[in-house]
């Protein structure tokens, strides 16, 4: 079947916006924490957290983040370790580093007031066109289109755009239609409505077309193609990698953590010391950590998926008694109740009951 690329004139914008807003008034999400109060700072943090992450997961993280960093000045002056600790578990940690850098830029360049235009917002680290549009529309009530993953899916189905996601043939008409459909009035509600529709009814799998307010205006539904739009991305099988971490405890029950470099996987987070899978553990502990191993035990490995590869993490639990020789500033002993934020798979290892090792 010949693929169709929709033009911006396919549907009258007032029909789309009107039907969507009527649905939103009854069925939309009106009590999300970043909506009360709906400030530019709170909307921005929420939008960054919501990238690649579900609303249900974000809510608790958002509330904790706001309690620790209630305004942009508090975020700007906070130590990087604190910011990463409150992001730990959300993944995609470059988001947190960019958020922190952007907060510093806003304080330095805008006297702590978030910019009000899409272009100025996009000049800040980590803010793309859709996120900038969401801030302008949601926080300031000014006209700006958005095109997050949910909005893309809704509009792609409305216009039956079957091009491959990520290509110009897909993105360009979507932005044209997003601009056309976004109304001048109630733009705050409209942007929330299209995100809500994509999250609740116009889902990737098994869209609930029977309850969709835009069903009668949807080309994909009319053609019976809603299940294959958006077209699935061709994904190569993710390569497998392996590593080994050391879960080192001292005689006081403290665990040894190592701060990772600022860039790369888990950049800037505290994690367990990492070594080659086949490394000599006793030798590494003695020569690199300055520790004599009293006892060691192999833990069950765990798997963790990243965007481009899967990681098999072997873990060796190590017990030491003498800790005086730890001198590296990137390494530190932490008591269980004072542990900083760590990556999710490392938290799984540390939160699993430890085997008592005989010395």
CB 320 within 8 A of CB 250: yes
Predicted confidence band at 22 (pLDDT cuts at 50, 70, 90)?
Answer: very high
Check 14, 47, 179, 298 and give the catalytic one. 47
Which residues, at least 6 apart from 3, have a Cβ–Cβ distance to it below 8 Å?
162, 163
Predicted confidence band at 11 (pLDDT cuts at 50, 70, 90)?
Answer: low
CB 238 within 8 A of CB 251: no
Q: Using alpha carbons only, how large is the chain's radius of gyration in Å?
A: 24
Q: What is the pLDDT of residue 8?
A: 37
Q: What is the pLDDT of residue 327?
A: 59
Q: What is the pLDDT of residue 1?
A: 41
Predicted confidence band at 324 (pLDDT cuts at 50, 70, 90)?
Answer: low
**What residue ranges in the chain does DSSP mark as E strands?**
240-249, 255-259, 270-271, 274-275, 293-305, 310-320, 331-334
pLDDT in tens, 113-145: 999 999 999 999 999 999 999 999 999 999 999
pTM (predicted TM-score): 0.81
Q: Which domains does the chain have, with CATH numbers?
A: 13-228 (1.10.340.30), 240-351 (3.90.79.10)
- Please provide the average confidence, as pLDDT, over all residues in the chain: 90
Q: What is the pLDDT of residue 13?
A: 77
**Does residue 325 carry a pLDDT above 50?**
yes
pLDDT in tens, 198-245: 999 999 999 999 999 999 999 999 999 999 999 887 777 889 999 999
Instruction: Give the pair of three-digit tokens for residue 9.
Output: 């004139």
Q: Is 73 a catalytic residue?
A: no
């Amino acid at each position: 079947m010949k693929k169709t690329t929709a033009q911006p004139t396919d549907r009258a914008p007032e029909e789309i916006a009107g039907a969507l807003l009527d649905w939103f008034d009854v069925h939309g999400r009106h009590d999300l924490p970043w909506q009360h109060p709906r400030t530019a700072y709170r909307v921005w943090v929420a939008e960054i957290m919501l990238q690649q992450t579900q609303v249900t997961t974000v809510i608790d993280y958002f509330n904790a983040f706001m309690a620790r960093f209630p305004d942009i000045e508090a975020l700007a002056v906070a130590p990087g370790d604190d910011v990463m600790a409150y992001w730990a578990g959300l993944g995609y940690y470059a988001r947190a580093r960019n958020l922190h850098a952007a907060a510093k830029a806003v304080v330095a360049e805008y006297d702590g007031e978030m910019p009000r235009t899409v272009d100025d917002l996009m000049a800040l680290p980590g803010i793309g066109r859709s996120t900038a549009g969401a801030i302008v529309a949601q926080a300031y009530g000014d006209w700006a289109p958005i095109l997050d993953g949910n909005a893309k899916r809704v509009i792609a189905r409305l216009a039956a755009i079957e091009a491959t996601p990520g290509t110009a043939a897909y993105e360009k008409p979507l932005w044209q239609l997003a601009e056309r459909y976004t109304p001048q009035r109630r733009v705050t509600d409209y942007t929330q409505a299209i995100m809500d529709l994509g999250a609740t009814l116009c889902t990737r799998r098994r869209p609930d077309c029977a309850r969709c307010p835009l069903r009668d205006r949807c080309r994909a539904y009319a053609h019976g193609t809603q299940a294959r739009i958006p077209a699935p991305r061709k994904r190569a099988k993710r390569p497998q990698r392996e590593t080994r971490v050391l879960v080192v405890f001292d005689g006081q029950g403290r665990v040894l953590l190592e701060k990772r470099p600022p860039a790369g996987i888990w950049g800037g987070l505290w994690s367990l010391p990492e070594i080659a899978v086949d490394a000599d553990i006793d030798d590494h502990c003695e020569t690199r950590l300055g520790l004599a191993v009293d006892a060691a035990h192999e833990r069950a490995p765990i798997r963790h998926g990243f965007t481009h590869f899967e990681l098999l993490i072997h873990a060796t639990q190590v017990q030491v008694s003498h800790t005086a020789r730890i001198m590296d500033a990137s390494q530190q002993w932490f008591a269980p109740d004072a542990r900083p934020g760590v990556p999710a798979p490392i938290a799984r290892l540390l939160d699993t009951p430890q085997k008592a090792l005989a010395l």
